[in-house]
Amino acid sequence: MIGGGRTVGAILMAGSALLLVAFLAWATTALSTGETTGGGLVLAVVLALIVCAPVFGVGFYVFRRGSVEKAEFAVVQQEKKILNMVLTQGQVNIGQLVAELQMPRDAIDDMIRSLVGKQLFSGAINWEKGVLYSVESQALTDGRKCPNCGSEVVFAGKGLIKCPYCGSEVFLTKRAAATTTAPAGASQSNPSPANTA
């Protein structure tokens, strides 16, 4: 179960805390009845901490790891929604994604870049207009036409094609990227001002 470590971690932390309280209660009772001395009480506290602290520490680690897993799973689910929207609609405005996922634009942009980095998104992105296009990788490599403006695109690197006119960036999946090579004599040194940083 995703995030199940949180439950296990909480149980370990609560159990170690209860064990410590019970041990201290027993030691305090023993002191008040004269069964032990002040030194015995201190020794009992030290022993209780030696036993309970590692258990609490493990519980805290497991709880923290479970929280991280739950957050990562939530991000994966959001990225999956983005992919599904682009694939089913063919063209999605980033503003639509912001409204649908109820997340800030920066977070949406980061998720899109994450999908590109994971080689899961094959299509074009026009960052200026904020539009994602779902395009078949084969069509992108064969036609060499920008899905945004229709102009001829240039290979900017393995798996990346850029339109020198509108600035759209076309990303290919890993398999399609492996087959792309810059055409002989193609000029990659004439990007538009929108592509120069």
At 39-89, the pLDDT tens digits run: 777 887 888 888 888 888 998 998 888 888 888 888 888 888 888 888 777
What's the mean pLDDT in 95-107? 88
Instruction: Give CA separation, 135 vs 80, 84, 91, 127, in Å.
Output: 17, 13, 9, 16
At 86-99, the pLDDT tens digits run: 877 778 888 888 88
Specify the pLDDT at position 61. 92
Return d(Cα 168, Cα 88) in angstroms, integer: 21
Helix 4-32, helix 38-89: angle, nearest 10: 170
What's the mean pLDDT in 89-111? 86
Beta carbons of 108 and 96 less than 8 angstroms apart: no
At 1-17, the pLDDT tens digits run: 566 778 888 898 998 88
pLDDT band at 197 (very low <50, low <70, confident <90, very high): very low
Burial class (CB in 10 A: 0-12, 13-18, 19+), 96: middle
Just give the CATH number of 90-195: 1.10.10.10
Give domain limits for the chain. Answer: 4-72, 90-195
Specify the pLDDT at position 159. 59
Percent of the chain at pLDDT above 70?
76
Q: In what order do the strands lie in the sheet with 169-171?
A: 91-93, 131-134, 123-126, 169-171, 160-162, 154-157
Return d(Cα 116, Cα 170) in angstroms, integer: 10
Specify the pLDDT at position 172. 65
Nearest in space to 17 (alpha carbons), one of 55, 74, 61, 43: 55
